[in-house]
Chain A
Amino acid sequence: MTLSLDDVRYVAELARLGLHDEEVVRLQGQLSSILEHITALDQLDTAAIPPTAQVVTLTNVMRDDVATGSLDREDVLRNAPRQFEGFFEVHAVLGAADEDIAP
């Protein structure tokens, strides 16, 4: 298969997705199979072809640097799972040196 179980676990870590063991196994099969189909692109010689990131031909769309209104803080915080004095509240981002809590 294109992906090993470790590959799948690594990608899940990058994506911050908590997967059960049976999900890891199932995804290994499904993702490997999809990636097999995608190898069809290797049939094409694209060395001299520029990439298309965006189909619009606009570049650097800017507006004047003038402060306009924004959303009401109360409206924005209404959906917050945890809030504290007008802030979104989360677990500690930084901790003691021996703790592995990097978000």
Chain B
Amino acid sequence: MTREFSDLTELTLVQARNALDGREISAVDLTQSHLDRIERDDEQIGAYLHVMRDVAVAQAHEADRRIAARESSPMTGIPVALKDVLCTHDAPTTAASRILENFRPPYDATVVKRLRLQGAVFLGKANTDEFAMGSSNENSAFKPVHNPWDLSRVPGGSSGGPSAAVAARLAMVSLGSDTGGSIRQPAGFCGVVGLKPTYGRVSRLGLLAFASSLDQIGPFARTVEDAAITLQAVSGHDPLDSTSYPTPVPEFRDALTGDIRGMKIGVAREYRVNGMEQGVADAVDTAIARLASLGAEIVDVELPHTEYALPTYYITAPAEASANLARYDGVKYGLALEAATLRETYERTRGEGFGAEVKRRIMLGTYALSSGYYDAYYVKAQKVRTLIKQDFERAWDTVDAIVAPTSPTVAFAMGARTEDPYQMYLADVFTIPANMAGIPGIAVPCGFSDGLPVSLQVLGPAFAESTILRIAHAYEQAEQWVDRRPPALDQAEMAPAN
């Protein structure tokens, strides 16, 4: 066992790109180093549901050929983990659910297709809360994910697998999905960068739908620049997704100047709630002061409907989910349990195939949409959504971006919030508003509390990913929290091989 493979897994995407194109390392070695690390460490983490070993090695060989022919793209040869709600025609896609346990999609998601064309390497399908419903990755039907910073704690969710993989060097970058915070919150808990783009910036074709007016796909990385490059690779209009925007995609890396002088950054007092940990509040306040010292002007803004975002979301998202998950009926794919009648096959298949949280949300959504309750719940929620959206639109009159904590707490212990569903839902209280308004948000590490990562969230106007990337990058370059590593990584290296 040499130190070499550990070193390759420490590279950032930018470093790897230079080393690959400069022929200092091969894509095959880079991929193999990640596969070796997954084999040694993932039993403790649980980040992967399916490792695409053969596919990855073949892709790596092809990447080396392209690099040698000087035909590389930014993502050529880069080892990526894909949240298991993204359809891959050459690997199972399960949504971490028994109802899709053996499902092999007949097509790729558009984001997968784009990465494949660029010559990226797919290490595997990353674990998630079932159907992306959860805030801790404890709802996976197969196994939970453990936080690399403290294996007894959750990585966050629902994209716990992609987030933990990047934090634990089991992937260089990854793709997750964010419906109410499912990229940003786990990025925060795992001390990595996570970005949710503007609704419509990235195609949802081939993303197993949870809530169609809220879902977005986005990157995890250890640096803001790596996240920007990954986002660039998958962004842009897709004729197969009628909600994807035709607006041109700027060169996101152009925003990474390190200069935020004169930018107006809003802070809203509504992003301080009871039950927020002092260590989190302190780290975020320190980060905001840092932004001021870098030349930004900190401005108070009001987002008066912030507290209503959570209840609004817990009508809207389950309602949309109840429609999107109706397709899992044992007829076209997935689990199919036998019964005497068609209706009973539906009921048995869905009753046994879905986990508890999924059933809970389908029930909530079905109730909210049912006759007699539709106006009181679903339409009401849509109207409050307008108010939340208008809060942000008003804010953009006075500020360029808004900063806030990503979560009220650091990563909590496994099992700590599984008794009362609403306690779990509260983990997303700061991330949900951005999904309701359709605006982009990035989570970036901003310190530690009790040894666990704290995260700063930067929100911007629709299609202003460049603005939030600029601010996050400038902060990151000034503070370098990225240099801290999860202590479990070093312990794993000391552990004897199995």
- B462 CB to nearest chain A CB (Å): 8
- B251 CB to nearest chain A CB (Å): 23
Q: Mark B299-333, 1 if CB is under 8 A from A, else 0.
A: 00000010110111011000000100010011111
Determine whether the beta carbon of A55 is less than 8 Å from that of B239: no
Q: Which A residues are CB-close (under 8 A) to B387?
A: 44, 46, 49
Q: Which B residues are CB-close (under 8 A) to A4?
A: none
Question: Closest residue of chain A to B242, judged by CB?
Answer: A61
Determine whether the beta carbon of A50 is less than 8 Å from that of B308: no
Q: Mark A1-45, 1 if CB is under 8 A from B, else 0.
A: 001000110011011111110010001001101110110111110
Determine whether the beta carbon of B200 is less than 8 Å from that of A34: no
Q: Which B residues are CB-close (under 8 A) to A81?
A: 330-331, 333-334, 336
Determine whether the beta carbon of B422 is less than 8 Å from that of A37: yes
Main DSSP-derived SS at the A contact region = loop
Q: Which B residues are CB-close (under 8 A) to A78?
A: 104, 106
Question: Closest residue of chain A to B246, judged by CB?
Answer: A58
Tally of chain A residues near chain B (CB < 8 A): 55
Question: Closest residue of chain A to B348, judged by CB?
Answer: A18
Distance of A19 Cα from B347 Cα, bound (Å): 8
Which chain A residues (34-79) contact chain B, with CB distance < 8 Å? 34-35, 37-38, 40-44, 46, 49-56, 58, 61, 63, 71-72, 75-76, 78-79
Q: Which of these, A30, A33, A56, A90, contacts B199 with CB under 8 Å?
A: A56
Distance of A44 Cα from B308 Cα, bound (Å): 9
- B363 CB to nearest chain A CB (Å): 5
Question: Closest residue of chain A to B328, judged by CB?
Answer: A16
- B364 CB to nearest chain A CB (Å): 6
Determine whether the beta carbon of B343 is less than 8 Å from that of A30: no
Tally of chain B residues near chain A (CB < 8 A): 68
Q: Which of these, A42, A51, A58, A80, contacts B382 with CB under 8 Å?
A: A51
Q: Which B residues are CB-close (under 8 A) to A92?
A: 341-342
- B273 CB to nearest chain A CB (Å): 14
Q: Which A residues are CB-close (under 8 A) to B380?
A: 41-42, 46
Q: Which B residues are CB-close (under 8 A) to A50?
A: 383, 386
Determine whether the beta carbon of B308 is less than 8 Å from that of A15: no
Determine whether the beta carbon of B213 is less than 8 Å from that of A37: no
- B131 CB to nearest chain A CB (Å): 14
Q: Which B residues are CB-close (under 8 A) to A15?
A: 322, 350, 362-363, 366
Q: A41-B308, A101-B342 are in contact. Are A16 and B243 (CB under 8 A)?
A: no
Q: Which of these, A40, A54, A76, contacts B243 with CB under 8 Å?
A: A54
26 contacts between A and B (CB under 8 A): A3-B367, A8-B363, A11-B367, A17-B354, A27-B363, A34-B421, A37-B311, A37-B422, A38-B377, A41-B311, A46-B383, A49-B383, A50-B383, A51-B385, A51-B386, A53-B382, A58-B200, A58-B242, A58-B243, A61-B243, A78-B104, A79-B106, A79-B332, A81-B333, A101-B343, A103-B343
Q: A41-B380, A52-B382, A88-B331 are in contact. List 11 more A-B contacts (CB 8 A).
A: A11-B366, A11-B367, A15-B363, A16-B350, A18-B348, A41-B311, A41-B384, A49-B384, A79-B333, A92-B342, A101-B341
Q: Closest 5 A-B residue pairs measured CB to CB?
A: A55-B438, A18-B351, A81-B336, A18-B347, A51-B382
